[in-house]
């Protein structure tokens, strides 16, 4: 646990008592604060009360009279589409609003760090797609190199729930826009921006607000090194704003699909090969095609980001290449489940938006595509440009018929549920085909989460192939 500093003897309110909220309460108490908390759900409140946490309805009048700070869980809106009533009350009362990420950064450094030979470091990863795989890959590389690594934030453990890092320890944080937009303190040593595509637009008041939330990690965080994906104009603008000159190697540009030139520091992947250039000279290259845990161009971008992080920490290209080979990938992200009868089964349930699904469609040949669910804003038209590898689509979800109607030029069968979709895809698959779950939609019309959706896909495949579930 990271005890929260700066609130000893003061009253702090916590809104939201899920995993991060409960960890926040415990960390505040450990730092000497008095805590009152609230959750709109009775179940969460019952759990908190059983733990001895003092409950206070923060939506009631005068709830913030004695409160020094309100700490809110990431999923609770504070501006758009409209603020939660408790946050609105805190704003009117002039009470600072923060989240657990802000508390983490203000509380991480300890006085006894003076005894360390190597200060602990924080690597923070944000972006629209690939940040989970990138974060996990960075943690994997550093673990392979013998470093003491903890993975936290939007993946792994809550940030305040980790163990205080020791001499030379590294904390790798995956940070969503919900987390970066509100944190009052953001001070990573190394920060990564993978890419940007439209997502969570209602929460951020549009694409500009979404990008602004990501940008805060760099503009306000002041990291020593910035690793920026420049395949979109937002990343190009961010890299431009952070660099003092074209040769400023505090900014490392990364790309998947095009060669980066110039006097600065860059890492890019083309046709399956990663290349590192510095001051106009190539100083490293890796063949990514033979890395089983990183299939497709989108994973090659993730590899470029993780490679750049490892290079900033002093590790050699050959060390990184060796560690890449043992990376197994993450569940629900281009995860090969099985290969049988010449057919590959791939679970990319995390492809919850059009851009991430588009990347998955480009990663495999001869795709029998299982798609559909709770459709997000913007429609499906951008997927069509990446549909050349699709043999047929098998559409699931409550609105499967509407989803299928948008797949112009793609043969589509309305299956509605996962069992029928997998069964039909398997019946029609030929050797060399890939049965790919890449929904391009949220899961909440039929499942509680993308993880549950992916687990259902995996379970059905195991049953059909006669394998015991892992």
Beta strands of 376-418 (E only): which ranges? 390-396, 412-416
The binding site consists of 127-133
Provide the 8-state DSSP code for 352. -
Q: Give the helix/strand (H/E) hosting 347.
A: strand 343-347
Provide the 8-state DSSP code for 374. B
> What b/e string do you get for 288-320 counting C-beta neighbours within 10 Å, with b at 16 or more?
beebebbbbbbbbbbbbbbbbbbbbbebebeeb
Contact 3, 27 (CB under 8 A): yes
CA 440 to chain centre: 16
**Spatial separation of the C-alpha atoms in residues 126 and 132, rounded to whole Å:** 9
**Spatial separation of the C-alpha atoms in residues 373 and 443, rounded to whole Å:** 6
Pick from 99, 69, 58: nearest CA to 6: 69
Pick from 185, 237, 244: nearest CA to 215: 237
User: Cα–Cα–Cα angle for 405, 408, 409, nearest 5°?
Assistant: 135
CA 27 to chain centre: 24
**Count of CB atoms situated within 10 Å of the CB of 148:** 15
Tokens of 251: 């900014």
The binding site for ATP consists of 127-133
Handedness of CA 404, 410, 415, 416 (dihedral sign): negative
Residues 6 or more apart from 129 whose CB is under 8 A from it?
A: 194, 195, 197, 298, 353, 355, 356, 359
């Amino acid at each position: 646990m990271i005890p929260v500093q700066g609130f000893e003897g003061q009253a702090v309110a916590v809104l939201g008592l899920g995993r991060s909220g409960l960890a926040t309460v415990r960390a505040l108490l450990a730092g000497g604060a008095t805590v009152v908390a609230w959750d709109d759900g009775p179940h969460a409140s019952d759990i908190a009360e059983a733990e001895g946490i003092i409950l206070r309805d923060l939506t009631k009048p005068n709830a913030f009279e004695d409160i020094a700070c309100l700490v809110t869980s990431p999923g609770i809106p504070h501006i758009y589409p409209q603020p939660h009533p408790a946050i609105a009350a805190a704003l009117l009362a002039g009470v600072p609003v923060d989240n657990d990420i802000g508390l983490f950064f203000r509380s991480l450094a300890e006085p006894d760090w003076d005894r360390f030979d190597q200060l602990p470091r924080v690597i923070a990863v944000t972006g629209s797609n690939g940040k989970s795989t990138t974060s996990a890959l960075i943690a994997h590389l550093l673990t392979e190199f013998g470093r003491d690594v903890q993975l936290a934030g939007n993946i792994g453990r809550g940030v305040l729930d980790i163990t205080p890092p020791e001499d030379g320890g590294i904390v790798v944080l995956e940070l969503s826009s919900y987390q970066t937009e509100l944190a009052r303190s953001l001070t990573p040593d190394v920060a990564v921006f993978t890419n940007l595509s439209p997502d969570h637009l209602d929460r951020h008041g549009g694409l500009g607000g979404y990008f602004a939330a990501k940008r805060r990690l760099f503009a306000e965080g002041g990291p020593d090194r910035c690793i920026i994906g420049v395949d979109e104009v937002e990343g190009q603008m961010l890299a431009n704003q952070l660099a003092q000159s074209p040769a400023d190697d505090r900014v490392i540009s990364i790309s998947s699909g095009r060669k980066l030139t110039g006097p600065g520091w860059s890492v890019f992947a083309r046709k399956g090969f990663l290349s590192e250039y510095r001051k106009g000279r190539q100083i490293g290259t890796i063949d990514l095609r033979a890395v089983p845990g990183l299939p497709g161009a989108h994973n090659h971008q993730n590899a470029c980001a993780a490679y750049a992080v490892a290079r900033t920490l002093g590790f050699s290209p050959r060390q990184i290449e060796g560690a890449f080979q043992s990376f197994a990938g993450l569940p629900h992200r281009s995860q090969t489940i099985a290969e049988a009868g010449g057919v590959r089964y791939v679970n990319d349930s995390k492809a919850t938006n059009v851009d991430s699904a588009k990347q998955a469609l480009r990663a495999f040949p001869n795709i029998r595509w299982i798609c559909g669910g709770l459709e997000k804003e913007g429609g499906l038209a951008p997927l069509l440009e990446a549909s050349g590898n699709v043999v047929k689509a098998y559409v699931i979800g409550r609105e499967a018929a509407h989803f299928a109607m948008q797949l112009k030029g793609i043969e589509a069968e309305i299956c509605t549920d996962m069992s029928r979709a997998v069964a039909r895809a398997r019946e029609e698959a030929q050797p060399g085909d890939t049965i790919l779950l890449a929904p391009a939609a949220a899961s909440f019309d039929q499942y509680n989460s993308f993880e549950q959706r992916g687990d259902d896909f995996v379970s059905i495949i195991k049953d059909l192939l006669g394998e015991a579930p892992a």
